Amino acid sequence: MLIVFIGPPGAGKGTQCKRLIDYLKIPHLSTGDLLREARAKGNTLGQLAAQYMDQGRLVPDPLVLAMVGEKLNEPELAIGCLFDGFPRTVPQARALDEELAKRGTPLNLVLEMRADEQELIDRMLRRAALEKRADDNPQTFAHRLEVYHQQTEPLLDYYRFRGVLAMINGMGTPDEVFGRIQAAVEARRATCH
Ligand code: AP5
Ligand code: MG
């Protein structure tokens, strides 16, 4: 299955993606993780991306698409893939659709993760105390949220129109949220066969 996770920062995309990888035994692609890896290596992409990530802005589409393009050609993706944090803009969604159309494998499901804004902030503050993500601070987080509303939320209509969108309530424990995701995945699987 080809599944996209969309949601504001802190909604639980990464957390739930890990669980779904174990459940479905398919690879995943997280543009946030790839950009942080590039950054840790200090390569040109990483240096450029850091300037945007530290301000809570999206890395420009051409950079993200060049980075993802190589990954989409990996043979293991033929069995399916979980996309975490990609696509994040309408041009990225169009580019993904074109790539998948060439392979004759359209997206099966888009999971929109939702949670209350105060819960998103509380999760970010808890993680900031444990990890050192440069973009986990109140000011940058506020901008990440704004960018989500402005640039990523329009994707929801894009996917709703294609009939692949499912809303997931991201409130509650990670186990409770995963139960809802499993139900949505199984409902879609039942219609795919
Ligand atoms: P990215 O890495 O994608 O981050 P994000 O979406 O902004 O936010 P998070 O990763 O914090 O949220 P999440 O939904 O994954 O939540 P998580 O499971 O971690 O992007 C970072 C930056 O990279 C962007 O701002 C941009 O600059 C750039 N970028 C990335 N992709 C791009 C693209 N396609 N185009 C352009 N630029 C791009 O959970 C958060 C915390 O909450 C964790 O500590 C977790 O343990 C905890 N938690 C999770 N679920 C629960 C729960 N149910 N209850 C309590 N705590 C929970
Ligand atoms: Mg994440």
Which ligand has the shortest distance to the CA of 9?
1
pLDDT digits (tens, 9 = 90+) for 76-109: 888 899 999 999 999 999 999 999 998 889 999 9
Q: Is the CB of 13 under 6 A from ligand 1?
A: yes
pLDDT digits (tens, 9 = 90+) for 131-180: 989 999 999 999 999 999 999 999 999 999 999 999 999 999 999 999 99
In this predicted structure, the answer to whether residue 193 has a pLDDT above a threshold of 70 is no
Measured from the Cβ of residue 66, the count of other Cβ atoms closer than 10 Å reads 10
Q: Is the CB of 10 under 6 A from ligand 1?
A: yes
Residue partners of 22: CB distance under 8 A and separation at least 6? none
pLDDT digits (tens, 9 = 90+) for 38-67: 999 999 999 999 999 999 999 999 999 999
Which atom of ligand 1 is least distant from the CA of 173? 53
Q: How much is the pLDDT for 103?
A: 86
What single-letter amino acid sits at 128? A
Q: How much is the pLDDT for 60?
A: 98
DSSP secondary structure, 126-183, as one string: HHHHHS--TT-SHHHHHHHHHHIIIIITHHHHHHHHTT-EEEEE--S-HHHHHHHHHH
